[in-house]
A and B are shown apart, each in its own frame.
Chain A
Amino acid sequence: GAGVSQSPSNKVTEKGKDVELRCDPISGHTALYWYRQSLGQGLEFLIYFQGNSAPDKSGLPSDRFSAERTGGSVSTLTIQRTQQEDSAVYLCASSFGSGVSGNTIYFGEGSWLTVV
Chain B
Amino acid sequence: AQSVSQHNHHVILSEAASLELGCNYSYGGTVNLFWYVQYPGQHLQLLLKYFSGDPLVKGIKGFEAEFIKSKFSFNLRKPSVQWSDTAEYFCAVKTDSWGKLQFGAGTQVVVTP
Interface residues of A (CB under 8 A from B): 33, 35, 42-43, 45, 48, 50, 55-56, 59, 91, 93, 98-100, 102-110
Contact = CB atoms under 8 A, between A and B. Distances in A.
Interface of B: 30-32, 34, 36, 43-46, 49, 51-52, 90, 92, 94-96, 99-106
28 contacts: A33-B101, A35-B103, A42-B103, A42-B104, A42-B105, A42-B106, A43-B90, A43-B103, A45-B102, A45-B103, A48-B99, A50-B99, A55-B99, A56-B99, A56-B100, A59-B100, A98-B99, A100-B51, A100-B94, A100-B96, A102-B32, A102-B52, A104-B34, A104-B49, A105-B94, A106-B46, A107-B45, A109-B43
Nearest to B6: A42
